[in-house]
């Protein structure tokens, strides 16, 4: 028979049992809608956490990973190993070592020529004591090239007061976390005294504050220019301990970190290695989302399967009459498979729309605020492939759910049914 005739019969069957048809469509609708909502929200959470981490973590970090060897001592080397006298040194004091990168300016210049590198920020850091009146506070002070630091972490977008460029325009300027400034009761324009580990002191003027939304950064970190940091620590202008790198393609961090480490002879870590726990948690959340969402769609598919079975049982005589009038087995399959596909298509389209509306509604819900929270609403990520995957999986589920009952209907013996 013609496809038009078969579709007409399928439509008649669907409309004759409207309640069951609507229930089947709602199963697909809510299954796909929940899939869209859950994956949009979970992916939004993953992106938020990754952005927070990357806002303070470079794509690649190069530093001198010097490890003191405690297996030997001066006394042990002085006495001959073959001597009968035993000399045992307990808890040896580590010797003074230099953690700076040799030829750091050359390494920085070479990295800036690399086609895959966007920004290179050399820096020098130390735990420093902040003094303002009777208040004292220990925090990490970093000497940086503030323009490169801005390109690396988007510092300009996180400024609460002032601009990153103000550090260059002010002699002995300092930019600190807004929470650190509050703890010290400092305002832009105030002078604060800093004491280095070597006991050297310098005074700096606050030119700006920032907010990353991470407690360890906003309350325990500040920036000064690289030259002033070198001066505070009594080092020369080539003394640099670390280099932070931002890449054009974040996914290239692992192989490039290995290449840079081999080329320059220093420890080179990529952001994935440093934040392995974040990657593991993202995989766990994604897996949970897919498992729950696919389970919902499969449950909806079983609902369609049961409904189609009930339709076939109730339409036994109709099927027998159709086959007696010349309808082939493939026509019967086409009729009942068309019903499940119609349910899947209509339910799927409604599910995509409902999923988008629920996702959009969640993205407009205000997020509870505290001192370190920088997001205003729940994180939801909108991407087209979520909807494409949801629609394809929903249609595939309903297709498989309708195929088995349709094949069962095609095998019905019309003579046996008509005889009763």
3-state class (DSSP) for residue 242 = strand
- Boundary (domain end) residue, out of 215, 240, 271: 271
- How far is 64 from 47, CA to CA, in rounded Å? 31
Look at residue 77 and tell me if it is in a domain.
no
Range of the domain at 353: 3-54+278-419
Helix (H) or strand (E) holding 321: helix 316-324
* 3-class SS shares of the chain: helix, strand, coil, % to 5: 55, 15, 30
DSSP E strand stretches across 100-146: 117-132, 135-144
Tell me the DSSP string of 330-397.
HHHHHHHHHHHHHHHHHHHHHHHHHHHHHHHHHHTSBPPP-TT---SB------HHHHHHHHHHHHHH
Mean pLDDT of 93-97: 63
Domain end among 239, 254, 271: 271
Please report whether residue 85 resides in a domain: no
Last residue of a domain, one of 220, 245, 271: 271
Alpha-carbon torsion, ordered 196, 198, 200, 204, to 10 deg:
-10
pTM of the model: 0.68
Is the domain of 261 the same as that of 297? Answer: no
pLDDT tens for residues 215-273? 888 999 999 999 999 999 999 888 999 999 999 998 899 999 999 999 998 999 998 88
H/E element, 400: helix 384-410
Look-up: residue for tokens 């010097």?
66
- DSSP code at position 412: -
Q: Which of the pair, 255 or 412, is modelled with greater confidence?
A: 255
pLDDT in tens, 141-194: 999 999 999 999 889 988 999 999 999 888 899 999 999 999 999 999 999 999
C-alpha distances in Å from residue 219, one per residue of 183, 209, 280: 8, 11, 27
Q: Are residues 37 and 65 in the same domain?
A: no
Joined together, the tokens standing for residue 409 give 């209907």
Domain match, 201 and 288 both: no
Residue 232 lies in a domain: yes
């Amino acid at each position: 028979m013609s496809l038009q005739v078969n579709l007409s019969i399928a439509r008649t069957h669907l409309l004759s049992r409207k309640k069951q048809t609507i229930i089947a469509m709602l199963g697909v609708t809510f299954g796909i809608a929940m899939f869209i909502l859950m994956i949009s929200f979970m992916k939004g959470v993953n992106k938020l956490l990754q952005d927070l981490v990357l806002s303070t973590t470079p794509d690649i970090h190069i530093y001198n990973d010097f490890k003191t060897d405690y297996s030997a001592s001066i006394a042990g080397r002085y006495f001959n190993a073959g001597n009968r006298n035993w000399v045992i040194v307990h808890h040896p004091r580590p010797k003074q070592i230099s953690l700076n990168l040799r030829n750091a300016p050359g390494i920085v210049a070479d990295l800036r020529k690399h086609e895959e590198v966007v920004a290179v920020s050399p820096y020098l850091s130390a735990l420093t004591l902040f003094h303002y009146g009777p208040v004292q506070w220990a925090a990490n002070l970093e000497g940086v090239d503030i323009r490169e630091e801005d390109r690396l972490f988007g510092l300009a977008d996180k400024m609460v007061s002032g601009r990153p460029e103000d550090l260059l325009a002010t002699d002995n300027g300092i930019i600190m976390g807004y929470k650190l400034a509050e703890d010290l009761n400092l305002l832009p324009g105030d002078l604060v005294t800093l004491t280095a580990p070597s006991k050297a002191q310098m005074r700096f003027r606050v030119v700006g504050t920032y907010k990353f939304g991470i407690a360890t950064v906003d309350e325990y970190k500040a920036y000064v220019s690289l030259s002033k940091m070198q001066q505070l620590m009594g080092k020369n202008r080539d003394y640099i301990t670390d280099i932070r790198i931002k890449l054009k393609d974040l996914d290239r961090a692992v192989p490039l970190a290995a290449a840079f480490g081999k080329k320059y002879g220093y420890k080179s870590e990529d952001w994935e290695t440093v934040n392995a726990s974040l990657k593991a948690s993202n995989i766990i959340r994604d897996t949970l989302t897919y498992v729950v969402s696919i389970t919902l769609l499969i449950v909806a598919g079983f609902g369609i399967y049961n409904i189609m079975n009930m339709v076939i049982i109730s339409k036994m005589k109709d099927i027998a009459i159709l086959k007696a009038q010349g309808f082939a087995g493939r026509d019967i399959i086409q009729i009942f498979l068309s019903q499940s596909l119609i349910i899947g298509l209509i339910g799927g389209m409604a599910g995509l729309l409902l999923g988008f509306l629920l996702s959009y509604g969640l993205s407009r819900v205000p997020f509870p605020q505290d001192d370190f929270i920088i997001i205003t609403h729940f994180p939801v990520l909108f991407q087209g492939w979520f909807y494409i995957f949801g629609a394809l999986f929903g249609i595939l589920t309903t297709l498989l759910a309708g195929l088995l009952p349709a094949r069962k209907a095609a095998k019905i013996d019309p003579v046996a049914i008509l005889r009763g």
